[in-house]
Structure 1
Amino acid sequence: MKDLRRLWTLSLIFKLVLAALIPLSADEAYYWVWSQRLQLSYFDHPPMVAWLFSLGSFLEPLLHAVRWPSVILGHLTILVWYFILKDRVSLEKFKIWIYLVLFSPLLGFGSLIVTPDVPVVFFWSLSMYFALQALETKKISSYVALGSALGLGFCSKYHIVLFVPCLLIYLLAEKKWREVRWTGVLLTIITGLIFCAPVLVWNLQNDFQSFRFQLNHGLEKSVYNPEWTVSYLLGQVLIIFPLVFWAALRAKVPTNMRWLYYFAWGPILFFFATSFRALVEANWPIIAYPAVLALALFYPRIETWLKYYIGFWGLIVTVVVATLFIPQLRNLNSKVREPYDFQNLSAVAKEVSPLYASSYQMAASLWYFSKVPTFKLKDISRFDFFDTLPEAMPTGNKFYLVKRETNGLPAWVSEQQWQMKEIKKISPDFVLLEFTR
């Protein structure tokens, strides 16, 4: 037990140090901007990710430590699973599970990046703990806690709704209905609605924009492309790791742990089904991964295979971390290089005003790195949070725009007869423009 505490603590410290050193990605900067304009919810996602950034606002002078509340919450997921598994597996097996999580590209290193995935995995795991407690002890308090966790999970990411069908199918298939206390179920529903009220109220006030956007985002295409399904399946096998995926697939769990099958494979199969309708992003089934890794513990060779898993993902993480100190390595991947590009570009936000950007990623990054409010120019790209802000439309007779040279302009620029002049090329990719009328 002492070894587990040391492993948990040291890995948390390691995460906090790295989180403070690595510049915020463009999407993280976007969520950080939300924390500068706190709302009940947002067009793109529920509000939890903005709330976490807001909690860390006092840490901003410490490099990028504004991430720390999210990193700590993500690391607490391990603690939740300790309470789920402590009476069901040996400490040695749980130690293997911790290593599987710490070296997982999304649950481990990926949990340093502040996205809606971090809190939804935590609240999904917490919901699982309370659901099992409710079935085993039949305590009303467990049902109330389950509703609270589900509600907060809905404030994190809408994918938490998959918890309900996974649980219902488990209860039906395993004939567990007699263990359900129906008064408790009513309290779960009421508590859940209370805790997800911010999202419900915001959507009621905004014509259900967020719900409709996410539904269309996940089921948007009418013509099937086989590449969606193939890329989804290959992506899941790679992220989970082929040997671990095989171990989870072949694992035989005790009767009292058959719920793992439903919470591990349920979300993965759901998104497999949706891959016949639209492209599925690789991280969407992340809620299933803790249970998938728990399934793998019951395959005899998992301890032997662990070294290959750690070696492969450990090498990838080492290369990514090395980009902090070896700038040349950043060219290996555009997503790794992007935060550094935007950080260098942010100097322009202090040179001209009012400054606009051509994408939410660029606008948010310039705002975060310069601490000068920078907005995306209205309608220059797909609708997002910036388009809801009055500042997205210039009100004076002059404004500046930084954009990639290949990006176009919104129709209203020519309709309102703005005159454009190129001020300078900032790099081979970016150009600064001045508009007057």
Structure 2
Amino acid sequence: MNARWANAWRGGTLGVALVLALLVFRFWFSAVLPMTGDEAYFVLWGEHPAGGYYDHPPMVGWWLTALLQASRAEWFLRLPAVLLPGALALVAWQLARPLGSERARLAAMLVLLQPASVWNVLITTDTPVILFSVLAVGAYVAALRARNPPRALLWQGVAGLLLGGAFLGKYFAALLGVGILAHVLLARRDRGRWAGFAVLVLAALPAPIYNLWWNNGHCWVNVLFNFVNRTADAGFQAENPPLYFVCLAYLATPWLLIALWRQRAALRAAAQRADVGAVLWLAGVPLLLLFLLSFEKSVGLHWLASFTPLLAAIGAMALPLANVARLLRWSALFAVAHVLLIGVICTLPLETWRNSSAYDGIVLTVRADELLARLQPWADDYLFATDGYSPAATLAYHARRPFAVFGEGSYHARQDDFLTDWRVHDGGRVLILRKSEPAADEYAPYFERIALQHVDLHGVRYTLVLGEGFRYAAYRDGVLTRVRDRFYRAPAWLPRRADSPCEFCMRYFPDDTGGMLPLKPR
């Protein structure tokens, strides 16, 4: 039996069957998984096309704008994420192909069987970052392998364009740029390295220049979010560096990391090849920088996902073939375990999670249509709102109508600051859906009259705050002023364009000089 199984692996029959089964699973999972709050928030971006957004550069919003022209079905909007592992596997195959067809096949299979390739069907800002980053590595290595200078420069330009595309997904794509610079400075000795690097930089530069131009005319919102607002709580926490290694081991798989460490002599020998060494540098430098960052901030799984497919490619390119085949078998078992676990979870009744602290959010996500049906008596007369971005985005996606965020909210996901103009609702009615009972006087300053009602759904009691006679002036002074002071105060080193002041500040505080205020100590 073991011999037949091994022969099936070597012949590729079992591998092809497993890949096809995983693809079917991913399409099924993308269809049955309810739209998550983060995804619904990015769909909101797509529904309001713009040159940029509050949290990040605009790439996933642009993708969703295009997809929404055809369908709003979850499985369709998630198509880029569903098909992403196939693209990553093709790059891994291309990276390993000069070392033999067997290594190329194993490289592609290792990528397809990594945990994120099994379960991650979510369409988020990470989807374009992962795609363009790995494609950029493939183009950079193709430049190193090119046999004539013009072709090498062409591939360097392609790598730069792809790196720019990754940057327009998320800022941390710049870590790959640092990896490329480190490789050029410290590893390469060929005569064409600086000309190629110059072409790469020139091709990549339009993306960050565009992003800076857009931010300069829009309150510097995603610069403030990424480098000021979300770093306020940064500081050393003893659990973060170990957690980094746990996340890395999970995404790359522990057996791959162990094999790379045990076979480090083989890895060093393989890295003498320019192409293998380049992949090692372009994966290793960003991962090292993220490890150093973990001493100041928690590094999540999604931050590592752009580089763990490269580790799989390195393993297939450098390790003995027998070792890689064993790794593949372990990864296949791990993938099957994920599929079975997810299948079981999806069949469990909703009430299974009743004792979870997240149960109210689970019900809101999974039974959004039922909750919206309970809100219909107020649909014509009230502005619907929640007290957080995730439920607001989720309900807006299912209702196909706006859900505002009432209150200060968090530093995350503040796109509603630009979508909802509270001035036009002065004197109007607002329904605020909450997962918890509000304090008695929490909303009193902002309405002439308030009534509370409750909606019981699958064991969760949601509170409806029915406010009449909205007092915009009180809301501006009590809430929007805090929002301005906390999220829209720019450091002095950020330039201000007199012809394009901060939209949020000018809307509610037109007397502020230039629409932006200096940063206050926190």
TM-score for both structures, normalised by structure 1: 0.87
| Secondary structure of 1:244 counterpart | helix
TM-superposition CA deviations, 1:49-104 (whole Å, max 9, x none): 1122222214436454222244335532222332222213x333333333332332
Alignment of 1:417-428 (within 5 A): 417-427=447-457, 428=460
TM-superposition CA deviations, 1:28-47 (whole Å, max 9, x none): 11101111111111111221
Instruction: Tell me the distance in 2 between the aligned counterparts of 1:302 and 1:2.
Output: 14
Task: Give the aligned partner of residue 367 of structure 1.
Answer: 396
> Which region of structure 1 is more displaced relative to structure 2, 247-256 or 120-129?
247-256
| Secondary structure of 1:312 counterpart | helix
Is the contact between residue 323 and residue 330 of structure 1 (CA under 8 Å) also seen in structure 2? no
| Post-superposition offset of 1:278 | 1.9
Q: 1:231 aligns with which of 240, 243, 248?
A: 243
| Post-superposition offset of 1:123 | 0.6
Q: 1:306 aligns with which of 317, 328, 352?
A: 328
Task: Determine whether 1:68 maps to 2:79.
Answer: yes
Task: Give the aligned partner of residue 278 of structure 1.
Answer: 297
Q: 1:27 aligns with which of 35, 38, 45?
A: 38
Task: Determine whether 1:379 maps to 2:408.
Answer: yes
Task: Determine whether 1:405 maps to 2:436.
Answer: yes
Instruction: Tell me the distance in 2 between the aligned counterparts of 1:272 and 1:408.
Output: 42
Task: Determine whether 1:136 maps to 2:149.
Answer: no
AA paired with 1:278? K
Decide which structure has the larger Cα Rg and report it. 2
Task: Give the aligned partner of residue 96 of structure 2.
Answer: 85
Q: 2:226 aligns with which of 193, 214, 222?
A: 214
Task: Give the aligned partner of residue 154 of structure 1.
Answer: 167
Instruction: Tell me the distance in 2 between the aligned counterparts of 1:231 and 1:343.
Output: 37
Task: Give the aligned partner of residue 211 of structure 2.
Answer: 199
| Post-superposition offset of 1:387 | 2.1
TM-superposition CA deviations, 1:363-388 (whole Å, max 9, x none): 11001122222222242444511122
Q: Which runs of 5+ in 1 are unaligned?
A: none
TM-superposition CA deviations, 1:119-173 (whole Å, max 9, x none): 1111111111221222332333222212211111111111110112111222233
TM-superposition CA deviations, 1:156-193 (whole Å, max 9, x none): 111110112111222233233523152x4433333222
Q: 1:190 to 1:155 in 2, by over 3 A?
A: same
| Secondary structure of 1:186 counterpart | helix
Task: Give the aligned partner of residue 41 of structure 1.
Answer: 52
| Secondary structure of 2:123 counterpart | coil
Is the contact between residue 45 and residue 61 of structure 2 (CA under 8 Å) also seen in structure 1? yes
> Which region of structure 1 is more displaced relative to structure 2, 91-100 or 1-10?
1-10
Q: Which runs of 5+ in 2 are unaligned?
A: 1-10, 470-522
Task: Give the aligned partner of residue 55 of structure 1.
Answer: 66
Q: 1:392 to 1:235 in 2, by over 3 A?
A: farther
Task: Give the aligned partner of residue 349 of structure 2.
Answer: 327
> Which region of structure 1 is more displaced relative to structure 2, 193-202 or 356-365?
193-202
Instruction: Tell me the distance in 1 between the aligned counterparts of 2:362 and 2:346.
Output: 10
| Secondary structure of 1:421 counterpart | strand
Task: Give the aligned partner of residue 347 of structure 1.
Answer: 373
Q: 1:363 to 1:238 in 2, by over 3 A?
A: same
Is the contact between residue 375 and residue 386 of structure 1 (CA under 8 Å) also seen in structure 2? yes
Is the contact between residue 380 and residue 409 of structure 1 (CA under 8 Å) also seen in structure 2? no
Task: Give the aligned partner of residue 145 of structure 1.
Answer: 158
Task: Determine whether 1:119 maps to 2:95.
Answer: no
TM-superposition CA deviations, 1:296-315 (whole Å, max 9, x none): 32334332243333323422
| Matched positions, count | 433
Aligned-residue RMSD, C-alpha:
3.1
Instruction: Tell me the distance in 2 between the aligned counterparts of 1:132 and 1:430.
Output: 54
